[in-house]
Amino acid sequence: MTCAGSEELSRRSGESGRHSPLQARQMTVGVVLQVTCSLIGWISLYSSFCLINHHRGYEWNCRLVTLVHGALIVALSAYVGFVDGPWPFTHPGSPNTPLQVQVLCLSLGYFIFDMSWCIYFRTEGIVMLAHHMLSILGIIMALALEESATEVNAVIFGSELTNPLLQVRWFLREMGRYRGLMEDAVDFLFVSLFTTVRIGVGAWLLCCELVSPKPLLVVKAGGVAMYAVSWVFMFNISKFVWRKGGSKLKTWRMRKNQPGNWELNGLKKAQ
């Protein structure tokens, strides 16, 4: 055990010494500039939406930004994880690649913007704020350590995969079109994706993270915290499904017990 710990310490010491102080400073400045540009970009996009949709509320335009970020970051993180690599289930704790850093910086700027917006307008509860804070800290940690962006990118992919559906659901409700087949389809896709990806695949990724000797303990702790938040969301989703299922069952029984339905059913049976 002591030997393994010494080897791990030596490996990390060697990796931390890859860059000279000047190179490390330049890389830090580069990351800060990327995050700053990302933040300015998201604020500019939000401001543009506010000008274009001036008849809409602030939340409408903020959710448009969230929708854009969700769609964009899912595509980018999917490319990073499935095409560019490395594979997060087999290489957790790997050194960050330039593309991973760019994607994380882009997403970090968004989370800083959205977290600030939510705090200012007080639109979200403690669970969503905790999710945003963990996302911000996780990205900063991966950028500072110069490793583990592989699994952080995978977590962002899983977290944002269901986000566009959540925003579409909100927009449909605001426009009065959240009903019937459209309502059921969006809800079914959201619940199915959340359960499969964030709970099922998320558990697999967390196990790979915990059993691997490469990631630091603080990274593993962050993974556990993020997965715990997913289960809090899952609990709330389960309550929603239970209420909605009970409501639909009650409606179905009421329609079935209506006299007109019995007569119609009897007529059909007689025919």
User: pLDDT averaged over consecutive 10-residue blocks of the chain (271 residues)?
Assistant: 39 50 82 95 97 93 96 95 90 93 96 96 91 95 93 94 93 86 88 94 94 93 94 92 75 66 42 37
Whether 240 is in a domain gets the answer yes
The pLDDT value given to residue 76? 96
DSSP state of 196: I
Does 68 fall in a domain? yes
Quote the CA–CA distance of 27 and 33 in Å, as a whole number. Answer: 10
Q: Can you give the residue range of the structural domain that contains 121?
A: 28-244
DSSP class of 271 = -
Omega cis (within 30) before 86: yes
Count CB neighbours of 212 within 10 A. 17
What pTM was estimated for this model as a whole?
Answer: 0.83
Whether 108 is in a domain gets the answer: yes
Classify residue 45 by burial, with Cβ atoms within 10 Å: 0-12, 13-18, 19+: middle
CA gap 103, 72 in Å, rounded: 10
How many domains, the chain?
A: 1
Domain presence at residue 6: no
What pLDDT is stored for residue 248 in this prediction?
Answer: 67
Predicted confidence at residue 183, as pLDDT, reads 82
Is 257 inside any structural domain? no
**Locate tokens 């970020």: which residue?**
69
Inside any domain, residue 153: yes
**Given this model, what pLDDT does residue 21 score?**
82
Residue 269, pLDDT score: 36
Q: Report the chain's terminal Cα–Cα distance, integer Å.
A: 80
Kindly state whether residue 143 falls inside one of the protein's structural domains.
yes
pLDDT given for residue 23 in this prediction: 78
- Residue 100 domain flag: yes
